[in-house]
């Protein structure tokens, strides 16, 4: 089972463990900046390692590892969260103030070295906004496919990763 306290508590635990919550010298900005810099360096090294590992894993190894971890309930929860996040993003993408705020954040994000992340967020916002409240079908397709793959992998079906996705079923009559 996962951590019952949730991500918020984990972030507080991590901040406390790295000394971000205590500041005996009154030098928060330097301590936080140093900690963020160190974390980004570790992230870069982990990212490179994961990239190397990712390119050496085939479908059968991935499926075996998926089953070996044996966290079906956690995966179900993740998929539930994907659905909730998709629904929330669909609603949020319809709020015009959000788009304006994203545009205003572009330059500060670039100055902070987060330009690529900002561009990704802006593209995602634009994609969801273009659906005009219709992203629900897209989210439903993603969730249904993720559930099908998870169930198949836990059932021992390694082919689930190789099978082409079934086309979504339309409720519209074919004319």
**Confidence bin at 106 (pLDDT 50/70/90):** very high
Pure H helices in the chain:
7-17, 28-54, 59-69, 72-92, 96-111, 115-130, 135-154
User: What is the average pLDDT value for the chain, to the nearest integer?
Assistant: 74
The pTM of the full predicted model, rounded to 2 decimals, is 0.55
Up-side HSE of residue 67: CA atoms within 13 Å toward CB? 14
Whether residue 68 has pLDDT greater than 70: yes
Predicted confidence at residue 25, as pLDDT, reads 53
Determine which of 4-13, 138-147, 152-161 has the lowest per-residue pLDDT on average: 4-13
The C-alpha atoms of residue 147 and residue 142 are separated, in whole angstroms, by: 9
Higher per-residue pLDDT: 45 or 57: 57
Predicted confidence at residue 133, as pLDDT, reads 64
Q: Which residues contact 76 (CB under 8 A, 6 or more apart)?
A: 147, 150
- The percentage of residues in the chain with a pLDDT greater than 70, rounded to a whole number, is 63
The C-alpha atoms of residue 174 and residue 102 are separated, in whole angstroms, by: 40
């Amino acid at each position: 089972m996962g951590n019952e306290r949730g991500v918020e508590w984990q972030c507080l635990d991590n901040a406390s463990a790295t000394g971000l919550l205590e500041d005996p010298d009154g030098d928060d900005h330097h301590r936080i900046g140093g900690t963020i810099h160190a974390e980004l360096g570790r992230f870069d090294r982990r990212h490179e390692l994961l990239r190397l590992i990712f390119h050496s894993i085939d479908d059968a190894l991935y499926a075996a590892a998926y089953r070996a971890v044996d966290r079906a309930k956690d995966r179900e929860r993740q998929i539930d969260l994907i659905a909730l996040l998709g629904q929330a993003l669909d609603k949020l993408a319809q709020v015009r103030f959000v788009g304006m705020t994203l545009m205003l954040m572009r330059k500060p994000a670039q100055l902070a070295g987060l330009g690529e992340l900002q561009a990704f967020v802006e593209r995602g916002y634009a994609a969801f906004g273009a659906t005009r409240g219709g992203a629900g079908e897209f989210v439903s397709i993603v969730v249904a496919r993720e559930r099908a793959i998870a169930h198949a992998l836990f059932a021992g079906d390694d082919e689930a990763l190789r099978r082409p996705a079934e086309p979504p079923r339309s409720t519209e009559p074919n004319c």
